[in-house]
Amino acid sequence: MASNLTSSLARYPSLQGRRVFITGGGTGIGAAMVSAFAEQGAHVAFVDIAEAPSRDLAASLAVAGHPAPWWRVCDVRDVTALQQAVTDGAAALGGDFAALVNNVASDDRHTLESVTPAYYDERVAINERPAFFAIQAVAPGMRRLGGGSVINLGSTGWQTKSGGYPCYAIAKSSVNGLTRGLAASLGADRIRVNTVSPGWVMTERQVKLWLDAEGEAALARNQCLPDKLQPSDVARMVLFLASDDAAMCTAQEFKVDAGWS
């Protein structure tokens, strides 16, 4: 369902009519970002492997009177399909993307002993590789526009030494390297590159799989703030970084984790 931004939250005039591409936009944090951008008047394209939630999200935004997002079912492990979606989404929305949000990820649990070379490569193909090739696809259009904003979703999980997903931790720790490694070269064309690293966000999946009594205790023990993080909390940081208000912010990591890390 589309989120409801209240009148007390920031509006960004520069996002009105801006074209935004989001990976993994059909559910969870990604869906919150799709909704938040649409509510700002942005024209959003997104990809996701989950067809039914993506369709429902797009329909709910259109019914609410927001710009209807363009979307496509896409397995981001297929780089050719991902880059074609960028091309087709831009054509459908009438121009180049001014913002890219590399959100797609999978934090499936695994152990050191269980990982095979094939499984390792698959984790990289979901959690690391798509961001690089999505940036490669949008960068020429951002240059034509005279600038843009790339927002890579990291994680504080590896920074707090959370266990149970070493391949995910490796991939997410590389996000800061991607951000820092491209910020200077892309910055010459006024393309900003930043990382947003969420803490433990209460998506439907996280609540269903892992929020038990032990998890509640960990939240109370580790967060500085008592409230549970919601997908919309992350979306609001992403809105800021995509807007002109963040025009001089690049090569940085912005944490949204209630003070856990």
pLDDT one-digit tens code per residue, 228-244? 999 999 999 999 999 99
| CA distances in angstroms from 226 to 72, 81, 196, 219, 236, listed in the order given | 37, 42, 21, 8, 19
pLDDT grade for 29, boundaries at 50, 70 and 90 = very high
State mean pLDDT over 86-102. 99
- Please compute the mean of the pLDDT values over residues 168-177 and round it to a whole number: 96
Burial of 180 (0-12, 13-18, 19+ CB in 10 A): middle
**What is the reported pLDDT for 137?**
99
Determine contact, residues 94/16, Cβ cutoff 8 Å: no
> Catalytic residue among 12, 119, 120, 168, which?
168
In the chain, what are the domain boundaries?
A: 14-201+230-251
Q: What angle do CA 84, 68, 7 make, to 5 degrees?
A: 125
Report the topology of domain 14-201+230-251. Answer: Rossmann fold (3.40.50)
Question: Is it the case that residue 5 has pLDDT exceeding 80?
Answer: no
**What tens digit of pLDDT does each residue of 186-243 get?**
999 999 999 999 999 999 888 888 789 998 999 999 999 999 999 999 999 999 999 9
In which residue are the tokens 């064309």 written? 189
Other C-beta atoms closer than 10 Å to the C-beta of 16 total: 12
Average pLDDT of the chain to the nearest whole number: 95
Establish whether 12 is a catalytic residue: no
Residue 12: its pLDDT value, please?
Answer: 99
What is the pLDDT, as a whole number, of residue 7?
A: 60
CB 159 within 8 Å of CB 176? no
Q: Is the pLDDT of residue 160 over 60?
A: yes
Q: Show the tokens assigned to 42.
A: 């942005």
pLDDT one-digit tens code per residue, 111-149: 999 999 999 999 999 999 999 999 999 999 999 999 999
Percent of the chain past pLDDT 70, that is, above it, reads 97
Q: Percentage of the chain with pLDDT > 90?
A: 90
Write down the pTM of the prediction: 0.94
* pLDDT at res. 55: 98
Element spanning 253, H or E: strand 253-256
Q: Which amino acid is at 244?
A: D
Q: What strands lie across the sheet with 99-102, from one edge to the other?
A: 70-73, 43-48, 19-23, 99-102, 148-153, 191-198, 253-256
The predicted pLDDT at position 209 comes to 81
Which residues make beta-bridge pairs with 71? 46
Sort 89 into a burial class: Cβ within 10 Å, 0-12 / 13-18 / 19+: buried
Question: From start to end of 66-145, where are the E strands?
Answer: 70-73, 99-102
